[in-house]
């Protein structure tokens, strides 16, 4: 009896795991940003965003989170010998933080399609981080294009509370800085930092106290810039609205942010980018230009917890 041998064909690739160091970008048009590169992008984003440097991080496991925070602590009392100690209640308030999808689209030469996924995101990391930081700060600081709850940006809180001090070019900046700090202190909160842009450093350097001593210390040897003893976080000028504020002071513990999920990406070789224009004012057609576009998305949450925790120095509008 003749034995028939059958060859068993096995597709080895089905047992392979996705390795971003070996897979070309053109073979993986969608997916999650590799964990290591995604972590580095988030790290750079947090270093560049002034809000993530000043605000308090709120851990999140899902898109929406409810939490409580201590609005005022319990009181203490003098107690006589043998007397019963009185008790008081701390004030805890409820808050909610909701993550929204932040996205960036970057047009790139098709040569990058031959990069491995890992190498590509190593190259694109600075551009992605910068784009995320600018957009997040625009929304959180001034409510520009914000998907977050209306009225919760820092500037909206300031205008609701009326906590503004107009810059007077005839006086010392020391007076205005002291005044914005006082507005926050009037609400029984401690200002713990300023934010502005490097464009404003010149005025800070020239400010002096009543003893004619400088109140500004520039960053040296890795130290943070300070004014009146408070740290200064510098925002990217592209995220700042100079028509509204020159400098913002705050109790930044009253701002929270979170990131519940990792980054995802998609590439397209035939889209038309309507939000980007060429030199003639026409939308960028990727197919015509032999390019592709990378879209990266990241869920980010932001909220503020009090309207009287912030104050701003505004431009002098005297005609």
Banded model confidence at residue 42, pLDDT cuts 50, 70, 90: very high
Question: Token match 């440097």: residue?
Answer: 53
Quick check: is 76 in a domain? no
pLDDT for 109 equals 87
- Number of domains the chain is built from: 1
* CATH number of the domain within which 189 lies: 3.90.1690
- From the number of C-beta atoms within 10 Å of its C-beta (0-12, 13-18, 19+), residue 192 rates as middle
For the stretch 101-120, pLDDT in tens is: 999 888 888 888 888 889 99
Per-residue pLDDT, 270: 76
- The rounded distance, in Å, linking the Cα atoms of 118 and 138 is 29
CA distance 315 to 241: 11
Render pLDDT for 46-95 as a digit per residue (tens, 0 to 9). 999 999 999 999 999 999 999 988 775 555 555 556 566 555 555 778 89
* pLDDT tier, 19 (very low <50, low <70, confident <90, very high otherwise): low
CA distances from 302 to 167, 215, 243 (A): 29, 32, 23
> Sorting pLDDT into bands at 50, 70 and 90, what band is 234?
very high
In a domain, 29, yes or no: yes
Which SS3 state, helix, strand or coil, does residue 235 take?
coil
For 167, the domain range is 23-70+86-314
On whether residue 80 sits in a domain, the answer given is no
| Mean pLDDT over each residue of the chain, to the nearest integer | 85
Specify if 14 maps to a domain: no
In-domain check, residue 5: no
User: Confidence class of residue 290 from pLDDT cuts 50, 70 and 90?
Assistant: confident
Instruction: Tell me what pLDDT residue 110 has.
Output: 85
Bridge partners of 294? Answer: 106, 267
Residue 42 resides in a domain: yes
Q: How far is CA 253 from CA 80, 91, 190, 268, in A?
A: 36, 16, 10, 41
d(C-alpha 273, C-alpha 201), whole Å: 37
**What is the average per-residue pLDDT within 122-142?**
94
- Asked if residue 194 is part of any domain, the answer here is yes
State pLDDT tens for residues 196-224: 999 999 999 999 988 999 999 987 767 88
Residue with tokens 């509370």, as numbered in its chain: 161
Whether the model clears a pTM of 0.85, i.e. scores above it, the answer is: no
Please give the Cα distance from 163 to 311 (Å, whole number): 5
For residue 160, tell me if it sits in a domain: yes
Distance CA 251, CA 216 (A): 19
Contact yes or no for 102/136 (Cβ under 8 A): yes
Rounded CA separation 255/156 (Å): 13
CA 293 vs CA 103, 109, 212, 265, 311: distances in Å = 12, 9, 55, 10, 40
């Amino acid at each position: 009896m003749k034995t028939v041998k059958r060859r068993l064909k096995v597709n080895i690739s089905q047992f392979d795991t996705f390795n971003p160091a070996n897979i070309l970008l053109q073979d993986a048009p969608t997916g999650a940003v590799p964990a290591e590169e995604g972590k580095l992008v988030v790290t750079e984003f947090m270093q560049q965003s002034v809000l993530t440097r000043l605000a308090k991080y709120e851990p999140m496991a899902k898109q929406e989170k409810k939490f409580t925070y201590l609005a005022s602590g319990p009181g203490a009392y003098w107690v006589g010998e043998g007397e019963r100690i009185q008790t008081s209640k701390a004030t805890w308030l409820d808050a909610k933080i909701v993550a929204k999808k932040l996205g960036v689209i970057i047009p790139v030469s098709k040569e990058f399609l031959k990069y491995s996924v890992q190498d590509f995101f190593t190259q694109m990391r600075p551009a992605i981080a910068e784009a995320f930081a600018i957009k997040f700060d625009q929304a959180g600081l001034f409510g520009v294009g914000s998907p977050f709850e209306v009225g919760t940006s820092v500037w909206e809180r300031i205008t609701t509370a009326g906590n503004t001090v107009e810059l007077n070019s005839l006086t010392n900046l020391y007076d205005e800085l002291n005044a914005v700090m006082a507005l926050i202190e009037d609400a029984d909160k401690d200002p713990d930092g300023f934010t502005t842009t490097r464009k404003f450093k010149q005025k800070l350097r020239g400010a002096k106290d009543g003893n004619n001593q400088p109140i500004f210390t520039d960053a040296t040897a890795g130290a943070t810039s300070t004014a009146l003893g408070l740290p200064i976080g510098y925002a990217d000028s592209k995220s700042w609205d100079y028509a509204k504020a020159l400098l913002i002071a705050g109790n930044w513990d009253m701002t929270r942010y979170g990131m519940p999920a990792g980054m995802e990406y998609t590439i397209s070789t035939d889209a038309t980018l309507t939000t980007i224009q060429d030199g003639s004012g026409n939308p960028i057609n990727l197919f015509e230009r032999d390019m592709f576009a990378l879209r990266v998305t990241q869920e980010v949450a932001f909220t503020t917890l009090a309207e009287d925790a912030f104050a701003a120095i505004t431009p002098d509008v005297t005609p």
